[in-house]
Amino acid sequence: MREWWRGAMTYQVYPRSFQDSNGDGVGDLPGITARLPHLAGLGVEAIWLSPIFRSPMADMGYDVSDYTDVDPVFGTLDDFDALIAQAHDLGLKVIIDQVLSHSSDRHPAFVESRSNRDNPKADWYVWADPRHDGSPPSNWLSVFGGSAWAWDARRKQYYLHNFLASQPDLNFHNPAVQDWTLQNMRFWLERGVDGFRLDTVNYFFHDPLFRDNPADYRVKAEAEGNPYGMQYHLFDKNQPENLIWLERIRQLLDEYGATSVGEMGESHHAIRMMGEYTRPGRLHQCYSFELMGQEYSAAFFRDRIGAFFEGAPDGWPMWAFSNHDVVRHVSRWARYGASQDALAKQAGSLLLAFEGSICLWQGEELGQTDTDLAFDELTDPQGITFWPEPVGRDNTRTPMVWDGSAAGGFTTGTPWLPVKAPQLSRNVAAQEGVPDSVLEHYRAMIAFRKGSEALTAGRTGFLDLGEPVLGFLRGEGAGAVLCLFNLSPVARSVTLGGVHAMIGPSLAVARDGERLTLGPNAAAFLTVTGDVQVVT
């Protein structure tokens, strides 16, 4: 039997912003449970919940103070159990975030670890003596700005934090930390979760010699908005011990038949590392930020997706265009669209035609865009630190819009982030049942993918076509599907051979015999009858 996750579609839910059930302006578990029918009706197979654990919320839940309880802002363990039960009744799997590389500085383990150098948890976090001049032990930088080392006067040592200073890194070189982490994961598996999304999966281990990172070997004309990108991160992450640790996690997951998704936080070799991390016995699937940048071209998608399967034929990717950390793709790629709707629908068709598993970010099915926020509206520490650029993460995390009311049906109170007019206009109620809407196109495209063995399991063969036309075959023989996309706002024409009928929810396409006109942001799917020929 084929593993359910292979080729499946997962929908990312950001709990703070999905649905508020009690009027406090913050989304919660009962709210998510009430909205599960929308996700089941969309046709996805699984939902991924961003962190719901107890937390001071310095980084919106990615700073965990208790790994085995729900934060009161989201509800209770009983609420979580009810969500799991309802999701399973609707045929949805549930994947939850696991933030394992670091905890909150308020976690009892860190409070004990920092108290002195000889307590039972003294070696549970990454501590190091200063250099002789008092400076940090290495030049490692925090993703959120400044040094990755913070001084602690109690121990008279520095501790490592790859993110906020209130997010100290756990020391996975210590076997006791690994054992404790597996116990925490087992707690949720026993409650019925179907898998884990592993945050910053390449950050678990550090170089124990604390060697300095070299400068990025790529030539830079000027400093980046965030200097973290100016280093080649050879020693503060991406260590070989990561792979051995992932094999331990896989053994636990196999006991329960659960799946894993790793977030590859790397800008240099992400595609290669995705393959390396998903080889048999490691992660089931892995995604990176490779498809979440500014480029929207045939050569780009052909190169990135082809490189993965060429380098890791036994690995498995998860592809996504947007998530809670990046600018929404309809905003990023606006210049490539004849209209916002045209781009949104084409991007959905393109993503859902790729080989691999797929992750959709909440609101993507509405063609939602980033929200313009003023500085005093921000809550994200990264966005505040690097204001005005790079753009922070609050802009993509604003509440889900269900209807045209003042807060979009998200809350009866004041939402934790504002719902503004451009986002309010793209709501579920206004698109429900409207044949040409982005929402109904996503539903049709998801159903098309689920009903096509070629799109869920067929291998990919790219065609070498000129820009801006991207073409590839999914599958082989009589069941193969030819996929064609015009990645521009200007019409293009191609001549076809070896194809038969148009199928699926094609977009902006006209056919005259062997001549196919691909309108602005067109998507075409055709059955294959012989040797395919496409001439641009």
* All structural domains of the chain: 9-101+175-449 (3.20.20.80), 460-535 (2.60.40.1180)
Pair type for strands 357-361 and 9-13: parallel
The first and second tokens of residue 280, run together, are 């048999």
Would you give the distance in Å from CA 200 to the centre of its chain? 11
Task: Give me the mean pLDDT over the 281-310 stretch.
Answer: 95
530 has pLDDT over 90: no
Task: Give me the mean pLDDT over the 85-113 stretch.
Answer: 98
Which tens digits make up the pLDDT trace of 183-234? 999 999 999 999 999 999 999 999 999 999 999 877 665 666 788 989 999 9
Specify the pLDDT at position 536: 81
Which tens digits make up the pLDDT trace of 120-143? 999 999 999 999 999 999 999 999
Q: Which residues are catalytic?
A: 199, 255
- Asked whether the beta carbons of 427 and 366 are under 8 A apart, the reply is yes
With residues binned 3-state (H G I as helix, E B as strand, rest as coil), the percentages for the chain, rounded to 5, are 30, 20, 50
In this prediction, residue 478 has a pLDDT band, given cuts at 50, 70 and 90, of confident
Instruction: Name residue, tokens 């641009």.
Output: 536
Which tens digits make up the pLDDT trace of 5-26? 999 999 999 999 999 999 999 9
The first and second tokens of residue 288, run together, are 């990176």
Which tens digits make up the pLDDT trace of 237-294? 999 999 999 999 999 999 999 999 999 988 778 999 999 999 999 999 999 999 999 9
Nearest 10 degrees: Cα torsion 163, 361, 189, 120: 0
- Asked whether the beta carbons of 2 and 38 are under 8 A apart, the reply is no
Per DSSP, the three-state class of 248 is helix
- 135: Cβ contacts below 8 Å, ≥ 6 apart: none
Give percent of the chain above pLDDT 90: 88
CA gap 500, 144 in Å, rounded: 53
Specify the pLDDT at position 223: 61
Which tens digits make up the pLDDT trace of 159-178? 999 999 999 999 999 999 99
Task: Give me the mean pLDDT over the 30-40 stretch.
Answer: 98
Q: What angle do CA 459, 342, 456 make, to 5 degrees?
A: 20
Whole-angstrom distance between the N-terminal and C-terminal Cα of the chain? 41
